Amino acid sequence: MDAIRITNLVKRYGLVTAVDDLSLTVASGKMFGFLGPNGSGKSTTIGCLTGLLDPTSGRIEILEKGFDANAASLKRRMGVMPENLGLFEPLRAHEFLAFVGRMYGLDERSVRTRVTELLDALELTDASKILGEFSTGMRKRVAFAAAVIHSPDVLFLDEPFESIDPAGVALMKQWLHRYVQQGRTVFLTSHVLETVERLCQEVAIIAAPGKLVWQGDITTFGREGAIVYDGKEFEALEPLFLHLTGERHVELNWL
């Protein structure tokens, strides 16, 4: 079963094309990495996939159902950690998570149990601080907890690991592995290619303006030692990524 299917997705802002005829498929039970340089259209694509943005044209299917911004029943099965976190800063962590849990239809008992367990696990138990007073890493943890609190079937994570300490990242990875083993799907973006290489089974790489340049199984690196593309052998994701998106060598005399 396909968890996500994008067909000929186009997103334009006036004359600017942010995503150009993007088509890709993500199978259920996969950890999928969605990569690209800055400004290549990753966040715009996630925006279209989560109902924040209306595609100019193209079709999006999630869990084999047509998805648009009004698809409430599908949104209930999706968890999103946005790039800029989307936190209500004057709220405390437990208030924010309880609010999110209630909005996803959890009953009061589940809300309180899950919030308490998430806060304990992610070491966010200081209820005296509002979210605006949290460090960047702690805010990321809260946003991650908000994305998983309703135990969704598809999880969209935009840059989930940046700014979080190694112990926090290890715990999140552990949860995500278990999550995928249960047949659920993770769609994540990251600029830390080593993490993506270790975590994901499949990767799509896009280049500006939102054009798919490569999609494939990256477990090949582990199994066969290298991926062959354009007649060249790439032993890791980073050189492949740089080859596909254009590595630049610029020297500044004064630097």
Partner 1 sequence: MDFQLIGLLVGLRYKLLWAKIRTRNGRIALFMAGYLLLALVGISFALLGATGGMVAVKAGKAERLVQGALTAIFVCATVTSVMLGFGLNQVFSDAELRRFPLNSRERRVARHGAGLADPFWLLFLALYLGIAFGVYLFGTGNLLLGALAALLLFACNYLAAQAIGQAIERLMEKKGGSFVLPVILMAVAFLPSLLAPMLRKNPAALRALVRVLSYTPPFGAGTMMTRANAAALGGLALIAWWGVGLVAALVGLERRPSRIRIAQTGSIRWETPFAHMAAWFGPVYAPLVEHWLLFLFRGKRFRLSYLMSLVLVPFLLLIWSGQGTHGGDPFAGAVGVFAVAGLAPAAAFIVNQFGYLGSAFRRYFLFPLDPAAALRASSYTLIGLCSVYVPLAAVAWVLFAPVSTGVRGMAMLLCSGIFGLFLFHGLGLWTTLFGPRCSDPSKTVGNDLSLLGNIVVVGGMIALLLTPRFVGEFHKGLIRPDQWPVTAVLAALAIAFYLISLRCASALLPRRREWLLAVLEKRA
User: Where along the sequence are the contacts to partner 1 (CB under 8 A)?
Assistant: 50-54, 69-70, 72-76, 78, 80, 82, 84-92, 94-95, 98-100, 102-105, 112, 115-116, 119, 126-130, 132-133
Nearest to partner 1 of 54, 64 (CB atom): 54
Residue found by looking up tokens 């909005």 in the block = 103
Closer to partner 1 at the Cβ: 103 or 192? 103
Place of tokens 């400004």: 39
Q: Supply the minimum distance, in Å, between the C-beta of residue 98 and partner 1.
A: 8
- Least distance in Å: CB of 59 to partner 1? 19
Closer by beta carbon to partner 1, 100 or else 203: 100
The pair phi, psi for residue 187, each rounded to 5°, is -120, 110
Minimum separation from the CB atom of position 180 to partner 1 (A):
21
Residue with smaller CB distance to partner 1, 156 or 241: 156
The answer to whether the CB of 19 falls within 8 A of the CB of 210 is yes
Amino acid (1-letter code) at residue 12: R
Number of H helices, E strands in the chain: 9, 12
Q: Facing residues of 57 across strands?
A: 10
Rounded to 5°, angle at Cα 200 from 194 and 202: 115
